[in-house]
Amino acid sequence: MTDTEATPTRAAWALQAPMLTEYYDTEWGMPVRDERGVFERLTLEAFQSGLSWLTILRKRENFRAAFDDFDVAAIAAYSDADVARLLSDKGIIRNRAKIAATIANAQAMLALHESGETLSDLVWSHMPARSPAPERDDEVPATSPESEALAKALKKRGFRFVGPTTMYALMSAIGVVDVHLVSSHRRGCSGLWNIDGTPVGPATMV
């Protein structure tokens, strides 16, 4: 067994708790393209703003239960009573602005569908021509021209809590970019990016 196999290289944040390590090793950076999956992750990234990702992971199942398993049509129809219910739910982040944003985002997503667009296609259309190839944690970008463009496109369509940093976190989480360290055992795990940051092939581009 090599040293790399004995001690896999991970991002520093993934070493802070076993739940983060498991998330890093099994989910982070893997492609997500289904509408509900993308909406869930957009919502969780918005709730994470100003908080730790570990806090969100620990409450993830509670979020799913509270928000009807991220059924967009159900959330879009939430009433004041639903908002009150969510604000009293100790299992989630009880932030009125973020709850209101989630409802508004569900409504914006339905409007996208009515115009013939999908959230997944919109997000994936901002896949860059080349992904970063960080060698150290401090080389991992916080934003990109593509995340700035995505944030602008989503805000134009009525989405909230979708700033460039939050959108870059989303893009990293669902494989639109690969920001695993080049030495990580998870580098290239999505099958979309080579270790050097070049795309695997033209078929991966949306």
How would residue 5 be classed by pLDDT, with cut points 50, 70 and 90? low
**Token digits for 146?**
């593509």
Q: What is the pTM of this model?
A: 0.93
Active site (annotated) includes residue 23: yes
Residue 18 exposed, middle or buried by CB count within 10 Å (0-12, 13-18, 19+): exposed
Instruction: Name every residue whose Cβ is closer than 8 Å to that of residue 34 and which is 6 or more positions away in sequence.
Output: 120
Burial 75-113 (b: 16+ CB within 10 A, else e): bbebeeebeeebeebeebbebeebbebbbbbbbbbeebe
Whether the per-residue pLDDT at 205 is higher than 50: the answer is no
Task: Indicate which residue of 40, 45, 124, 193 is catalytic.
Answer: 45
DSSP 5: H
pLDDT tens string 41-62: 999 999 999 999 999 999 999 9
How would residue 201 be classed by pLDDT, with cut points 50, 70 and 90? confident
Whether the per-residue pLDDT at 162 is higher than 80: the answer is yes
Active site (annotated) includes residue 28: no
How would residue 2 be classed by pLDDT, with cut points 50, 70 and 90? very low
Please give the share of the chain, as a percent, with pLDDT higher than 70: 95
pLDDT tens string 72-93: 999 999 999 999 999 999 999 9
Nearest-angstrom CA–CA distance, 183 and 136 = 9
- Looking at residues 154-162, what average pLDDT do you find? 97
Backbone torsions φ then ψ of 193, nearest 5 degrees: -125, 140
Task: Indicate which residue of 53, 78, 168, 193 is catalytic.
Answer: 53
- Say if residues 167 and 154 touch (Cβ distance below 8 Å): yes
Mean of all residue pLDDT scores within the chain: 94
Tell me, what's the pLDDT at 93?
A: 97
Whether the per-residue pLDDT at 115 is higher than 90: the answer is yes
Tell me, what's the pLDDT at 202?
A: 62
Active site (annotated) includes residue 124: no
